[in-house]
């Protein structure tokens, strides 16, 4: 594999194919067992060990939370600039310019921990780009972004390509088409398919197993007729104010499938966190099955819930996949999964040979499947899903969608920035902006509000 400075490569492949491993090899985070990586500069070949990789290679991983080190947004953006020897006045100027370009103006003094996943992705990308690396690796680093935020980051990347070669690891075919070359990793082999636009036509059948579809998934055969009308309310927010991050006065029926969309940082995840008791109302209240959520009963109430967070790799605590999924049932986990457990793993697209593997050794997409399998093993009444399809190849994405869409008795809150993820099953859609629900419509009415969704940055 050759990679030239200023060249944009797109890398695609199935979950677990080794894309993130290749990224870590190039970034110098792990060493190859065989062969070598070399940098050719001005006709000289430098061994990888002799290269100042922190300066030459920028790496943006699947979990931006792990890559923020500054106490504030401004400190995060300025850290690398200071290390490059810039004076304080110049650093402040560049930080001010960057916050405007990535839509974080006014948040300079906020902790990165208070940002949404999409905002953190923008922050980390801008901070790395500020270092002007010779090469930049983005491992699904645009996956959490709404359409408007993605466009702003792509504009930064296009400006940077003059001096910076870029590797975009992605399942998004539309994004891959914008690269100079398309690389495909399959069964351990890396293949260069050349110009992406030509490759998608010439290799359509092969690419279709892992390229992200741009069509709405209409799994109508999974809809077992209309849901039984139920006048009860399983979730009721009564003039609830969550420290001004979210203000909500809404209710949800048992068994309802609610899609929650909106731009990054709008308050979508806060809605889920309020249901799970991670954040409590400063004013007003939330009732779960008629019981007011408070600090004393939140633990009991969440036992009836499953929560798949946005960055699955951040909260899987089991020493193995089996322990993560089955430990709550039996408290001890056998060396190999039982036939029944294998069947359960297979249902979520998890091969049995991964049962004893530590979650941190899995790819991002594989961890996402484990997180969902573990959440569903608790037999929840309420299922909270925060971008559950992130990092999944097309085949895995469709199988997980089918599983979620087939759930009939569970109340589902599904956060996404892409309406196409949920149009096949959702009953209702909430559009969230600036901590408020600005639109509440039935899914069959969404086309009437298409312009509003697009304006907000929602993929349609």
Question: Tokens 């029944």 label which residue?
Answer: 340
Stated pTM of the model: 0.83
Structure-block tokens of residue 160: 């940077």
Phi, psi for residue 225 in degrees, rounded to 5 = 75, 175
398-446 pLDDT per residue, tens: 888 888 998 878 999 999 989 988 998 999 999 999 999 999 999 999 9
SS3 per-residue string spanning the chain: CCCCCCCEEEEEECCCCCHHHHHHHHHCCCCCCCCCCEEEECCEEEEHHHCCHHHHEEEECCCHHHHCCCCCHHHHHHHHHHHCCCCHHHHHHHHHHHHHHCCCCCCCCCCHHHCCHHHHHHHHHHHHHCCCCCEEEEECCCCCCCHHHHHHHHHHHHHHCCCCEEEEECCEHHHHCCCCEEEEEECCEEEECCCHHHHHHHCHHHHCCCCECCCCCCCHHHCCCCCCCCCCCCEEEEEEECCCCCEECCEECCCCEEEEECCCCCCHHHHHHHHHCCCCCCEEEEEECCEECCCCCHHHHHHHEEEECCCHHHCCCCCCHHHHHHHHHHCCCCCCCCHHHHHHHHHCCCCHHHCCCCHHHCCHHHHHHHHHHHHHCCCCCEEEEECCCCCCCHHHHHHHHHHHHCCCCCEEEEECCEHHHCCCCCCEEEEEECCEEEEEEEHHHHHHHHHHHHHHCCEC
Residue of 325 and 208 predicted with greater confidence: 325
Q: Half-sphere exposure of residue 138, counting CA atoms within 13 Å on the CB side?
A: 31
Extents of the domains making up the chain = 8-207, 220-319+363-456
Calculate the average pLDDT of the chain. Answer: 86
- How long, in residues, is the chain? 460
Same CATH fold, 220-319+363-456 and 8-207? Answer: yes
**How far is the C-alpha of 40 from the C-alpha of 50, rounded, in Å?**
12
**How far is the C-alpha of 282 from the C-alpha of 444, rounded, in Å?**
35
pLDDT > 90 fraction of the chain, expressed in percent and rounded: 38
Question: Tokens 């690398």 label which residue?
Answer: 80
User: Does residue 400 contact residue 389 with C-beta atoms inside 8 Å?
Assistant: yes
What's residue 38's pLDDT? Answer: 81
User: Does residue 127 contact residue 160 with C-beta atoms inside 8 Å?
Assistant: no
Question: Tokens 């870029």 label which residue?
Answer: 166
User: Does residue 88 contact residue 59 with C-beta atoms inside 8 Å?
Assistant: no
294-331 pLDDT per residue, tens: 999 999 999 999 999 877 666 787 889 998 998 765 55
Structure-block tokens of residue 62: 């699947």
Give the pLDDT band (50/70/90) at residue 205.
low
Of 104-113, 204-213, 278-287, the one with minimum mean pLDDT is 204-213
236-292 pLDDT per residue, tens: 999 999 988 899 999 999 999 999 999 988 999 999 999 999 999 999 999 999 999
Decide yes or no: CATH 3.40.1080.10 for domain 8-207: no
Q: Which CATH topology does 220-319+363-456 take?
A: Rossmann fold (3.40.50)
Q: Is the pLDDT of residue 382 over 90?
A: yes
């Amino acid at each position: 594999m050759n990679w030239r400075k200023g060249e944009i490569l797109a890398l695609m492949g199935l979950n677990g194919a080794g894309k993130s491993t290749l990224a870590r090899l190039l970034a110098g985070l792990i060493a190859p067992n065989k062969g070598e990586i070399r940098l050719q500069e001005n006709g000289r070949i430098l061994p990888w060990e002799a290269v100042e990789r922190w300066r030459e290679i920028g790496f943006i991983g699947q979990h931006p939370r792990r890559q923020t080190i500054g106490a504030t947004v401004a400190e995060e953006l300025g850290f690398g600039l200071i290390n490059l020897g810039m004076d304080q006045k110049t650093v402040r100027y560049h930080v001010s310019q960057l916050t405007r370009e990535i839509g974080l103006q006014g948040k300079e003094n906020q902790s990165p921990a208070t940002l949404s996943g999409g905002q953190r992705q923008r922050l980390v990308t801008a901070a790395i780009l500020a270092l002007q690396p010779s090469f930049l690796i983005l491992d699904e680093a645009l996956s959490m972004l709404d359409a408007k935020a993605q466009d702003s980051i792509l504009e930064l990347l296009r400006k940077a390509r003059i001096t910076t070669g870029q590797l975009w690891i992605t399942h998004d075919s539309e994004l891959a088409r914008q690269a100079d070359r398309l690389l495909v990793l399959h069964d351990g082999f890396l293949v260069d398919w050349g110009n992406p636009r030509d490759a998608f036509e010439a290799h359509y059948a092969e690419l279709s197993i892992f390229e992200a579809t741009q069509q709405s998934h209409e799994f109508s055969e999974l809809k077992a007729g209309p849901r039984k009308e139920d006048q009860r309310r399983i979730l009721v927010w009564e003039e609830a104010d969550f420290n001004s991050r979210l203000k909500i006065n809404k209710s949800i029926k048992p068994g309802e499938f609610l899609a929650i969309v909106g731009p990054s940082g709008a308050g979508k995840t806060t809605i889920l966190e309020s249901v799970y008791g991670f954040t409590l109302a400063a004013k007003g209240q939330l009732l779960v099955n008629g019981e007011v959520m408070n600090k004393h009963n939140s633990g009991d109430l969440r036992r009836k819930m499953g929560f798949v967070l946005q960055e699955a790799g951040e909260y899987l605590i089991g020493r193995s996949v089996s322990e993560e999924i089955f430990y709550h049932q039996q408290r001890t986990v056998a060396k190999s999964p039982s036939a029944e457990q294998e069947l359960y793993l297979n249902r979520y697209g998890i091969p049995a040979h991964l049962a004893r593997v530590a979650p941190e050794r899995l790819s991002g997409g594989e961890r996402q499947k484990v997180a969902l399998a573990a959440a569903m093993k608790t037999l929840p009444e309420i299922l909270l899903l925060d971008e559950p399809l992130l990092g999944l190849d097309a085949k895995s994405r469709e199988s997980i969608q089918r599983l979620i869409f087939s759930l009939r008795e569970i109340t589902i809150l599904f956060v996404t920035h892409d309406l196409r993820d949920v149009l096949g099953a959702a009953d209702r859609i909430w559009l969230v902006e600036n901590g408020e629900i600005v639109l509440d419509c039935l899914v069959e009415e969404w086309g009437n509000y298409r312009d509003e969704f697009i304006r907000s940055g929602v993929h349609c």
